[in-house]
Structure 1
Amino acid sequence: MRFSLTIFLLFFTLFTQATVYKWVDKDGKIHYSDKPIENAETVEFKSNTQNQIKLQAFKANSSTSNDDQDSSTQYNLSITSPDEEETIWNNQGKITIMARISPNLEAKHVLVLLMDGVIVGPPQTSPVFSLKDIDRGEHSFVIKAVAQNGKQLASTPPRKIFLHRAIIRRQATPTLSPGDH
């Protein structure tokens, strides 16, 4: 039943054509309709009639600043050390993050280090970041290449690192006072 209904509807739609009629009213306005009106003409469409929208191609202005042109550099940026999910054992909380960037960083571009989503330290041109006094636990690091205008040019995937700091808390050793035996 469903199959025969589907076939019928397909054939019905193939053989059904919408005719368009055109007429001019007493004020000289042209009207179109799918219903025949007295003195209306049938409109014949060419086979290549299509609705098309052509968008103009974007052209860069010759007055574009050098900052925008400089930021077109495509950097390949990755963290080389420490490894993903590596545990670092350092009681002073020192971590060194090293990255590789290619091509070399241009003079107007800098690198920033984010630890747990927060920028750590000032921007720099060196791909080696030395941190100290980092709390123990899990941390996520990302390095971003940034232009002077603040535009992000490249970013590393997040790198998860674990810092282990042995904390020795010396508790007061109980001493015996005279007479307490």
Structure 2
Amino acid sequence: MRLILLISLLLLSAQSLATVYRWVDEKGKVHYSDEQKNNAEAVELNENTQNNMTINTPTKINITPTTEASINYSISITSPQEEATVRDNNGAFTVSVSITPQLPRGVLMTLLVDGVITAPAQVSNIFQLTGINRGEHSLVVNAVTQSGKVLASSSPRKIFLHQASVFGPAKKSK
């Protein structure tokens, strides 16, 4: 049974190698077919008829990308003023920042008080701080990418935070 199937498949494949005919109709249109028409001529097909394509190797173009690292950003703390005295018993105050040019999307700002990040990274240029202890503090704002690279920093700003003392004036003993 397998032998008969194999022989019939071989015979069918031999018949598929039919002759191709080419002819031109009365309108001048060229036709191809496996059936012979009047005025049709047989077309010889080479067995090595292949489409060959050549792909040009890409040339490297030197483009210097404009990244946020190549732009000089200017960050300055606008409030509180240099050596300002802030009076708040809760240690709360607001820090406002000015940035030029505008930071690209994905770049955040961090606020460092005495070299320690005290507020979460944010897009807003206004920081609300609470719980800062009294005394002299240095404020610095950094523009930071999501990978942690610092693009720009403000110059340090010195402020003084005053809080009312829990200790009253000393009482004289009698």
Q: TM-score, with normalisation over the residues of structure 1?
A: 0.55
* Cα distance in 1, alignment partners of residues 70 and 106 from structure 2: 12
2:68–2:151 contact (8 Å) kept in structure 1: no
Provide the rounded CA distance (Å) in 2 between the counterparts of 1:83 and 1:100.
Answer: 13
Among 111, 116, 119, the alignment partner of 1:113 is 111
- Residue in 2 aligned with 1:167? 165
**Residue identity in the other structure for 1:137:** G
Q: Deviations over 1:79-111 (max 9, x none)?
A: 001111110111111111111001112111110
Letter of the 1:117 partner, please give it. Answer: G
Percent identity reads 47
Structure 1 position 128 matched with structure 2 position 126: yes
1:96 aligned to which of 94, 97, 100: 94
Pairing 1:149–2:169 present: no
Secondary structure of the structure 1 residue equivalent to 2:119:
strand
**Residues of 1 paired with 2:91 and 2:167: CA distance?**
16
Q: Separation in 2 of the partners of 1:158 and 1:120?
A: 15
Aligned to 2:49: none
Mapped to 1, the partners of 2:140 and 2:68 lie a distance apart of 22
C-alpha RMSD of the superposition: 2.8
Shift of 1:61: 7.1
Structure 2 counterpart of 1:40? none
- Identify unmatched segments of 5+ residues in structure 1: 1-59, 174-181
1:121 counterpart SS class: coil
Residue 170 of structure 1 and its aligned partner are, at CA, apart by 6.8
1:138 maps to what in 2? 136
- Aligned amino acid, residue 163 of structure 1: L
- State the SS of the aligned residue for 2:82: coil
The reply on whether 1:78 has 2:76 as its aligned counterpart is: yes
Q: In 2, are the aligned partners of 1:89 and 1:163 still within 8 Å (CA)? A: yes
Q: CA–CA distance in 1 between the matches of 2:62 and 2:128?
A: 42
Q: What CA distance in whole angstroms lies between the structure 2 residues aligned with 1:170 and 1:161?
A: 25
Q: Deviations over 1:46-69 (max 9, x none)?
A: xxxxxxxxxxxxxx977x9x9x93
**How far did residue 72 of structure 1 move?**
2.9
| CA shift for structure 1 position 77 | 0.6
Question: Structure 2 counterpart of 1:97, which letter?
Answer: V
Q: Aligned with 1:113: secondary structure?
A: strand
